[in-house]
């Protein structure tokens, strides 16, 4: 049981860590700066926590389902609307803030825009600073502006640094080289993986298409290893 507490090894290179770190810093800076220009520094700095958390997803794990544009835009919209509704109905307290976070989670799941930093956003929108409270429903303005700026930053930076973003729902599966045998008709497909994920009924920040690509890549490595072992035995 103790072994489960130790972190798994990362499959990314230090250069990718650096790329993501620079992107996170620049994306957060641009988003908060843009909000400050329109709504003032007090309101903008109040949003820096969720925006920074979103930046980790959008720049470090941009291929994940939780980091896609609809996830952040829809998630922030759900969190902002729910938080303001709860604040108006029940007041601004710790209990109402936690209730808003739970309701926002349910709405994000229903609309398929789950984004963890939006949960933090719903909390701070209820127990907000005076400048944000004074905006009332107009507080949705800095929320959505920050989310939009973060998405634009991720679109520009990730693609400029050769990381495709956003990730499509149906990425083409890598083709099997012509010198290898054709794919077995009984091989696992994205549809099979989608059904398997539905059977498990848990949250997984990965798409069936990503899993299919990983499986086919693993099959290619396995074939190469098998061929290498056969040649080694013949020698």
Give the DSSP per-residue string, 159-196: HHTT---SPPTTPPPPPPPTTSPPPPTTS--HHHHHHH
Q: Which residues of the chain have pLDDT under 70?
A: 1, 8-11, 168-190, 193-194, 197-214, 216, 219, 221, 225, 227-231, 234-235
Rounded to whole angstroms, the Cα distance separating 154 from 148 reads 10
- pLDDT (0 to 100) of residue 180: 47
Q: Are 156 and 213 within one domain? A: no
Residue with tokens 């800076």: 29
Write down the pLDDT at residue 26: 97
Same structural domain, 134 and 20: yes
Give me the pLDDT at residue 186, please. 57
User: 12: phi > 0 → left, psi -120 to 50 → alpha, else beta; which?
Assistant: beta
User: What pLDDT is attached to residue 6?
Assistant: 76
Burial group, residue 38, by CB count within 10 angstroms (0-12, 13-18, 19+): exposed
- Domain count along the chain: 2
Prediction pTM value: 0.75
- The alpha-carbon radius of gyration of the chain (Å, integer) is 22
Identify the domain containing residue 87 by its residue range.
Answer: 12-160
C-alpha to C-alpha distance for 140 and 220, rounded to whole angstroms: 49
Inside any domain, residue 190: yes
Q: Are residues 91 and 191 in the same domain?
A: no
């Amino acid at each position: 049981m103790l072994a489960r507490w130790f972190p798994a090894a990362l499959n990314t290179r230090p250069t990718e860590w650096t790329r993501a770190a620079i992107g996170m810093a620049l994306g957060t800076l641009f988003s908060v700066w843009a909000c400050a220009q329109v709504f003032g520094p007090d309101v903008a700095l109040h949003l820096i926590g969720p925006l920074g958390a979103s930046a980790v997803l959008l720049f470090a794990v941009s291929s994940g389902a939780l980091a896609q544009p609809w996830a952040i835009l829809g998630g922030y919209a759900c969190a902002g609307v729910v938080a303001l509704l709860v604040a108006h109905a029940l007041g601004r307290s710790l209990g109402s803030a936690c209730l808003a976070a739970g309701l926002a989670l349910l709405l994000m799941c229903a609309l398929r825009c789950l984004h963890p930093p939006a949960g933090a956003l719903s909390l701070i929108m209820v127990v907000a600073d005076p400048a944000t409270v004074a905006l009332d429903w107009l507080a949705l303005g800095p929320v959505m502006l920050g989310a939009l700026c973060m998405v634009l930053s991720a679109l520009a930076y990730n693609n400029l640094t050769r990381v495709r973003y956003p990730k499509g729902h149906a990425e083409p599966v890598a083709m099997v080289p012509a010198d290898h045998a054709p794919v077995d008709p009984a091989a696992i497909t994205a549809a099979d993986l989608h059904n398997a994920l539905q059977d498990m009924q848990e949250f997984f920040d990965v798409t069936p298409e990503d899993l299919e690509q990983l499986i086919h890549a693993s099959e290619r490595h396995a074939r190469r290893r098998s061929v290498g072992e056969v040649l080694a035995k013949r020698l």
